[in-house]
Structure 1
Amino acid sequence: MAIELRPQNTNVISLEEFIEYAEEHVDMRDEQSLKDAAPMMKALGNNRDFLADKINEELVKLANFQEDNHYGAQVLMLGRCKKFFMRACFWPSAQDKSYKESGPESFFYYLPHDHNFNFLSVGYYGPGYKSEYYEYDHDKVIGMPGEKVDLRYIRTSQLEQGKVMLYRGKKDIHYQIPPESFSISINLMEDSLDLPRINQYRFDLENKRIHSLINRNSGPVLADIAAKVGNDNTRQLLSDLGQRTTCLRTKSAIVKSLATRLPQSQKIDFIESHLTGKNDYFNAQLRHQISELQVRETSLC
C-alpha cells in the first residue's frame, strides 16, 4: 500500500526552504529518497502560517491568480521546479457546500484509481480523508478497459494532520472517502514529460477490472481530429508521427484514425499491417478495432 511515514520532528521550515531542499536532495523516482524527505515534509506541515501567506500572496495578484494551475478550484499551486511541483489539495466533507454542489466525483471520492507518478503527501488541516488501499502490478496489465487485474486489498487508513504518506506510482491504488470535516493536504508531486505516455487507471473494485484510462493525453484526440479534417499533408505527418512516437495510446490512435480515411474494404488490411505481435496496449487496441470492423462487416452482409 501507500507507505505511512510518521516522522516525529517538531521543527518548522518555510515553503521556500522545503523547495530548495527538494531540488538538491530528492529524486522523485527513487522510493528511498522520498522516504528520506518525510521529516522535511513534516517540518513544512508544522508551519501553520505558510499556506495562509501563500493564499494572501495570490489574492494580491488576483488578475493573474494561479496562472500555472491546471487542476481547478480543489488545488492551490505552491511552486514548480524542473522535476516536481508543490500543491495544496482541499478535501470537502459530505456536509460542505462544494461537495453538495459539485458531487463526490469532482473530488475523486469513491473513484478507485492509481497514479502514474510518485508523490509525497502530508496531512495539513482537518481530520483528513480516508482511503482503502490496494496494490497491483502495473507491468502485468495491458491497459484495456474491462481487463481483469490482480488487485490486493491492503488496509484502510486516514491522512490525519502530521502524517506523511508516500504514494508509489504504478503500484498503489486508493479509494478515497470524504473526511468528516473540511481538510487540506500538501503534496510534493513528480513532474515529467513521460507522464502522458504512462497509463493511469480507474478501477472497478467489485469485479477487479480496469474501468477506464484517466490520465490526460492529447495525442489520441489530435489524431482523430487531424484525420477527419486534415489534408494529404496532414495525414502524412500523422503517419510519420506514428512511426516516431513511443506513446502507445497515440500510436494506436493514429493507425485507427488513418484507417477511417480508407475505403471499407481496405481498413482491416491496413490495421493488420501495423500489428507487431507484441502483447501490449498498441496491439490490443488494433486487434479490438479489427474485431469491431469484422462485426460491422458481418452485420452488413
Structure 2
Amino acid sequence: MAIELKPQNTNVITLEEFIEYAEEHVDMRNEQSLQDAAPMMKALGNNRDFLADKINEELVKLANFQEDNHYGAQVLMLGRTNKFFMRACFWPSAQDKSYKESGPESFFYYLPHDHNFNFLSVGYYGPGYKSEYYEYDHDKVIGMPGEKVDLKYIRTSQLEQGKVMLYRGKKDIHYQIPPESFSISINLMEDSLDLPRINQYRFDLENRCIHSLINRNSGPVLADIAAKVGNENTRQLLTDLGVRTTCPRTKSAIVKSLATRLPSRNQIDFIESHLTGKNDYFNAQLLHQINELQVRETSLC
C-alpha cells in the first residue's frame, strides 16, 4: 500500500526551506529518498502559519491569481522547480457546500485510481480523508477499459494531521472517502516530461478491472480535431508527429484519426499497416478500432 510514515519531528520549517531541501536532497523517482524526506515534510506540516501566509500572498496579486494552477479550486499551488512541485489540496466533507454543489467526483471521492508518479503527502488540517488502499502491477496491464487486473486490497487508513504518506507511482491504488470535516493535505509531487506518456487509471473494484484512463493529455483530442477539420498539410503534420511521439495514446489516436480521412474501404488496411505485433496499448487500441470497423461493415451488408 501507500507507505505510512510517522516521523517524530517537532521542528518547524518554512515552505522555502522545504523546497530548498527537496531540490538538493530528494530524488522524486527513488522511494527511499522520498521516505528520508518524511521528517522534513512533517516539519513543514508543523508550521501552522505558512499556508495562511501563502494564501494572503496570492490574494494580494488577485489579477494573476495562481497562474500556474492547472487543477482548479481544490488545489493551491505552492511552488515549482524543474523536478517537482508543491501543492495544498482541500478536502471537503459531505456536509460542506462545495461537496453538495459539485458532487463527490469533483474531488475524486469514491473513484479508485492510481498515479503515474510518486508523491509525498502530509495531513495538514482536519481529520483527513480515508482511503481504501490496493496494489497492482502496472507492467502486467495493457491499459484497455474492461481489462481484468489483479487488485490486492491492503488496508484502510486515514491521512490525519501530522501523518506523512508516500504514494508510489504505478503501484498504489486508493479509493478516497470524504473526511468527517473539512481537511487539507500538503503534497510534494513528482514532475517530469515523461509522465504524460504513462497511463493512469480509474479502476472498477467490484469487477476488478480498468474502468477508464484518466490522464490529462491533449494529444489524442487534438489529433481527432485535426483529422476532422484539417487540410493536407495537417495530415502530413499528424503523420510526422505519429512517428516522433512516444506517447502510446497520442500515437494510436493519430493512426485512428488519419484513417477516418480515407474511404471506408481503405481504413482497415491503413490501420493494419501500423500494427507492430506487440502486446501493448498501442496495438490493442488499433485492434479494437479494426474490430469496430469490421462490425460496422457487417451491419451495413
TM-score (norm 2): 0.99
Structure 1 position 240, deviation (Å): 1.1
Structure 1 position 20, deviation (Å): 0.1
**For residue 126 of structure 2, what is the aligned residue in structure 1?**
126
Deviation track 1:75-107 (CA, whole Å, cap 9, x = no partner) reads: 110001100000000000011111111111110
Deviation track 1:85-144 (CA, whole Å, cap 9, x = no partner) reads: 000000000111111111111100000000000000000000000000000011100000
Q: Whole-Å Cα distance in 1 between the matches of residues 152 and 278 of structure 2? A: 27
SS at match of 1:10: coil
Structure 1 position 211, deviation (Å): 0.3
Structure 1 position 13, deviation (Å): 0.3
Structure 1 position 237, deviation (Å): 1.1
Structure 1 position 251, deviation (Å): 0.6
**For residue 84 of structure 1, what is the aligned residue in structure 2?**
84
Structure 1 position 231, deviation (Å): 1.0
Identity of aligned residues (%): 94
Q: Whole-Å Cα distance in 2 between the matches of residues 149 and 105 of structure 1? A: 22
Structure 1 position 193, deviation (Å): 1.0
Matched, 1:233 2:230: no
Structure 1 position 210, deviation (Å): 0.4
Q: Whole-Å Cα distance in 2 between the matches of residues 219 and 290 of structure 1? A: 21
**For residue 114 of structure 2, what is the aligned residue in structure 1?**
114
Structure 1 position 155, deviation (Å): 0.2
Structure 1 position 49, deviation (Å): 0.5
Q: Whole-Å Cα distance in 2 between the matches of residues 149 and 137 of structure 1? A: 8
Deviation track 1:138-187 (CA, whole Å, cap 9, x = no partner) reads: 11000001100000000000000000000000000000000000000000
Q: Whole-Å Cα distance in 2 between the matches of residues 101 and 245 of structure 1? A: 40
**For residue 257 of structure 2, what is the aligned residue in structure 1?**
257
Q: Whole-Å Cα distance in 2 between the matches of residues 63 and 275 of structure 1? A: 50
Deviation track 1:177-216 (CA, whole Å, cap 9, x = no partner) reads: 0000000000000011111111100000000010000011
**For residue 150 of structure 2, what is the aligned residue in structure 1?**
150
Q: Whole-Å Cα distance in 1 between the matches of residues 180 and 230 of structure 2? A: 52
TM-score (norm 1): 0.99
RMSD between superposed Cα atoms in Å: 0.5
Deviation track 1:4-59 (CA, whole Å, cap 9, x = no partner) reads: 00000100000000000000000000000000000000000000010011111111
Aligned length: 301
Task: Flag as ranges the 4+ runs of structure 1 deviating above 6 A.
Answer: none
Structure 1 position 286, deviation (Å): 0.4
Structure 1 position 294, deviation (Å): 0.4
Structure 1 position 230, deviation (Å): 1.0
Give matches, 1:1-301, under 5 Å.
1-301=1-301
SS at match of 1:254: helix
